[in-house]
A and B are shown apart, each in its own frame.
Chain A
Amino acid sequence: MELPRYHRMRRALYRLEGTSCPSCSRRFFPPRAVCPACRKGGLEPFPFSGRGTLYSYTRITQAPRGFASVAPYAVGMVRLEEGPLVSAPLADTDGIDLSIGMPVEMVTRRIHEASENGPIVYGYKFRPRLRPPRQ
């Protein structure tokens, strides 16, 4: 990920900050600048809770360039409690039977590291929810 884009996206990456439309209160993640329903701008930052359920998942064994050192790993689509569907890497899944509908929660992890002298990219992943469910 290019440094300027990483910097611009940091709130979305680190804490799952999306946007919401003040007119129709639809919520967006990744954040949008314009509401597609109202066709209006002026969307406000919206902090998602990070809680959701697993909508779909798969396990990657043949990883793309730059991710081979962390393979195998799982990726999934998560239905957030607040509505949006997010695709994201899954965390802490070794030895766990993943299932559609299982409760998951957002964690911030190392996502990518292009080289030893470049920046470490941190971002969201989802893991099977720990007890007790966060309030």
Chain B
Amino acid sequence: MRTARPAGIVGYGAYVPRPRVRASSIAAAWGREAAHLPVREKSVPGLDEDAVTMAIEAARGAVARSGVAPDRIRAVWVGSESKPYAVKPSGTIVAEAIGATPWVSAADLEFACKAGSEAMQAALAFVGSGMADYALGIGMDAAQSKPGDALELTAAAGGAAFLFGPAEEALAVVEATASYVTDTPDFFRRQHLHYPEHGHRFTGEPSYFAHSRAASRGLLEGLGRRPADYRWAVFHQPNPKFMRRVAADLGFTEEQIAAGAVVDRIGNTYSGASLLGLAAVLDTAREGDRIFFCSYGSGAGSDSFSFVATPRLAAARAAAPSVDDYLENRRAIGDYGEYLRLSRKIRML
């Protein structure tokens, strides 16, 4: 899919909360072996943080890097599976906090871990159709996981925001995008329940791998490109192994995915994961670099994007903290008990 009017990312911002819990602390609490844990530690929101506060900070970074006056932004779309309210948009709070209200569209998008890239695609389309000059797409999660579940070892907090605008002002221009969706029951959460469930038979190959590969190959074929034409590649990263396997299946190398492999350091930030990887790549990409991006969300589907970094990228970086600034701003949580407290998993009976 291509836009009628050339468009791209004019600003980006990231956020990762400061607390980190060691995967070994979680494993120990449930009597699991500490060998072969998927990640060393994962990020956890502070007691005063949620998907909205984290989205606000990432959005501020995106606006600061763009230099765009916030009242010129015509859409604030937040993709998340950890909205603080069941009914009440997160987008309005974010829009108000960055000064984009009241002449702005706002909404929350939902598609498991693909909600963030969906918000990006919608923002791109708003600009690319000529309906607006600037639109913000955010993917942010304080990921939910059932205590004792394998996902608890990786379910993390963080994400990124991308402000889309005209190609002439872009830090990275969008060449094209593709979406690939089927109805696949690999992961779901019913109303009024706290934690999601797996459709075990559908985990992995028929879901993450099949959809990521299809959306990636569709975009590459549409553009007449090969993986070697890209300097960088970012995939959804539920764990280090899946991300590396799908990259290898498609013919991308470790060198291409290393800069965006944020999962290795903080775990899986769900709707934020692929976006945070893209932000980390924009922190290091040079003018002319091609960037391949593919998200994945259970349910299931993938959105793929092809970007080219422009000469404006380098100069915009200093206006907001880098992904690395956030990764290094860490505080180790003492034990599993403190982790439960921060995750609000303790209920008073």
Q: A interface vs B, CB < 8 Å?
A: 10-11, 14-15, 17, 47, 69-70, 89, 91-92, 94-95, 107-111, 120, 122, 125, 130-132, 134-135
For A130, give its contact among B52, B97, B329, B331 (CB under 8 Å). Answer: B329
Residues of B near A107 (CB, < 8 A) are 53, 57
- In the complex, A14 Cα to B90 Cα: how many Å? 13
Secondary structure type dominating chain A contacts: mixed
B231: min CB distance to chain A, Å:
25
B199: min CB distance to chain A, Å:
30
Q: Would you call B48 and A132 a contact (CB within 8 A)? A: no
- In the complex, given contacts A109-B48, A130-B321, what are 11 additional A-B residue pairs having Cβ atoms less than 8 angstroms apart? A47-B99, A69-B47, A92-B46, A92-B329, A120-B85, A125-B48, A130-B329, A131-B325, A134-B64, A134-B320, A135-B64
A23: min CB distance to chain B, Å:
25
Residues of B near A89 (CB, < 8 A) are 48
Residue of A nearest to B50 (CB): A110
Chain B, range 211-238, C-beta contacts under 8 Å to A:
none
Q: Would you call A14 and B93 a contact (CB within 8 A)? A: yes
Residue of A nearest to B48 (CB): A109
Chain B, range 102-118, C-beta contacts under 8 Å to A:
none
B170: min CB distance to chain A, Å:
20
A29: min CB distance to chain B, Å:
15
Residue of B nearest to A125 (CB): B48
- In the complex, A95 Cα to B325 Cα: how many Å? 17
Residues of A near B47 (CB, < 8 A) are 69-70, 110
B129: min CB distance to chain A, Å:
29
Top 5 nearest A-B pairs (CB, nearest first) are: A109-B48, A14-B97, A110-B48, A108-B56, A130-B321
Interface residues on B, range: 20 to 34
Query: B84 interface residue, CB < 8 Å from A?
Result: yes
With A91-B46, A120-B84, A122-B97 as known contacts, state yes or no: A132 contacts B321, CB within 8 Å. yes
Query: B349 interface residue, CB < 8 Å from A?
Result: no
Interface-central residue, B50, B53, B98, by most chain A CB under 10 Å:
B53
Q: Would you call B97 and A15 a contact (CB within 8 A)? A: yes
For A131, give its contact among B48, B52, B321 (CB under 8 Å). Answer: B321
Q: Would you call B97 and A110 a contact (CB within 8 A)? A: no
Ordered by A's residue number, 22 sampled pairs between the chains whose C-beta atoms are within 8 Å are A10-B96, A14-B93, A15-B96, A15-B97, A91-B46, A94-B331, A107-B53, A107-B57, A109-B48, A109-B53, A110-B50, A120-B50, A120-B85, A122-B52, A122-B53, A122-B93, A125-B48, A131-B325, A132-B318, A132-B325, A134-B320, A135-B319
Q: Would you call A110 and B53 a contact (CB within 8 A)? A: yes
Q: Would you call A134 and B319 a contact (CB within 8 A)? A: yes
Residue of A nearest to B346 (CB): A69
Query: B133 interface residue, CB < 8 Å from A?
Result: no
